Amino acid sequence: MNDTVRTLFSGRMLVALLMGFSSGLPLLLTGSVLQAWMTDEGVDLGTIGLFALVGLPYTLKFLWAPLVDRYALPLLGRRRGWLALIQLCLVLAITLLGWTHPAQNAWPVALAALLVTFFSASQDIVIDAYRREALVDRELGLGASLYVNGYRVGMLLASGGGLILADFIPFSQVYALMAAVMVVGLGTTLFAPEPVAAQGLPATLSEAVIQPFVDYFKRHHAWLILLFILLFKVGDTMASNMTVPFYLDIGFSKTEIGTVVKFFGFTATLAGGLAGGIIMLRIGIYRALWGFGILQAVSTAGFAVLALHGYSLPWLAAVIAFENFSGGMGTAAFVAFMASLTNRRFTATQYALLTSLMGIPRVILSAPTGYMAEGLGWVGFFVFCTLIALPGLLLLTRFRGWLTEADARAD
């Protein structure tokens, strides 16, 4: 227990928390906040759903991740140099998005949003590599849980705070404020220590591109692991893509959404992420993925219950608390699982490959969710999102042997 407490309050975990915040802040600025802005401006539901495609950089980031593994910038070191430059560009892109006009022309909005997601995805590449290299194997679960908590705090501030502010100030000013908040991430980058580089780093760009994939696909179950990563959070992600239009459609105001959905669920999110990290220290990643994955699927069904019940702040609070708690646990286990798969020589590229697949449901499979909600109705849509999570859970049975062995070695 003393070791757990010391690890929890170490500087490494503080950096993981703050870098998680920096990663989470931009995500919903091209998601729920932009959806609310476009809804206010009268953009049709189908177009809003299609805007999930601006998240394509999250699924393609493995294409440029080898540059981060191969090259180092002159200042701040191999990881922090890239991170500082990318974060400065991200601040500019968020500001630019706030200057667009969704009601007049969707294309400039899409272009600016694409720039935000490109630099946000690039930031994720470096932060994921930094966290994997700065933490030892036994710290990955707890580090992932604090990263997830920080990520959720960033998402909370951007979406919950952004939606509340949007009731009082223009969306352009909301985006300007969120760009300024990114200074937290830049400050963390400047003051965090540079992790020790692994031996045998790629000496050429060709090696940086080819060797990470050769190393990964030599493994047993390599293709099944990729399929599992694609499916584990697919239902949860598809449901989340349409929650803001859903809340608005059944009668909740933006302030109620910002207060109940975002801020009320904040405690549940922190509790879920932290509980997930601590529980993983005791039961290992395999059993955590099973238990947390089941809770995650059940929480998606809660939205169908809310759709049947209709407008009710207590029901909304209950559904959101459960969803945030289980989502925090599930994501912590998922992130720790992916980190455990990477080779420290190619951290950025291999982690980018795995998290790119994690992002496909949010981008590709979420694109038609607006049309699905229109065709199935809210209840049918959320029931579908619950059931589609089952194949990913069933795949876990194929990994039991080597995952339980890996858990034993980490102890």
Q: Give the model's pLDDT for residue 236.
A: 79
- Picking from 24, 34, 32, the residue whose alpha carbon sits closest to that of residue 109 is 34
Q: Is the pLDDT of residue 115 over 90?
A: yes
What superfamily in CATH does domain 2-410 come from?
MFS general substrate transporter like domains (1.20.1250.20)
> How far, in Å, CA of 176 to CA of 375, rounded?
37
Cβ contact 194:77 at 8 Å: yes
CB of 60 within 8 A of CB of 118? no
Q: What is the pLDDT of residue 15?
A: 86
Residue 361 C-beta-side C-alpha neighbours within 13 Å: 24
The mean pLDDT of 18-42, rounded to a whole number, is: 85
- Mean pLDDT score of the chain, rounded to an integer? 80
Asked whether the whole model's pTM tops 0.75, one would answer no
State the helix-helix crossing angle for 183-191 and 78-98, rounded to 10 degrees. Answer: 170
- Report which of residues 329 and 408 the model is more confident about: 329
pLDDT at 89: 94
Above 80 in pLDDT, residue 207? no
Q: What is the mean pLDDT of residues 189-203?
A: 73
* pLDDT over threshold 60, residue 321: yes
Average pLDDT over residues 144-164: 82
pLDDT in the model for residue 359:
61
Say if residues 315 and 38 touch (Cβ distance below 8 Å): no
Beta carbons of 325 and 269 less than 8 angstroms apart? yes
pLDDT at 411 over 60: no
Structural contact between residues 133 and 195, judged by C-beta atoms closer than 8 angstroms:
yes
Tokens representing 281 are 């220290």
φ and ψ at 16, to 5 degrees?
Answer: -60, -40
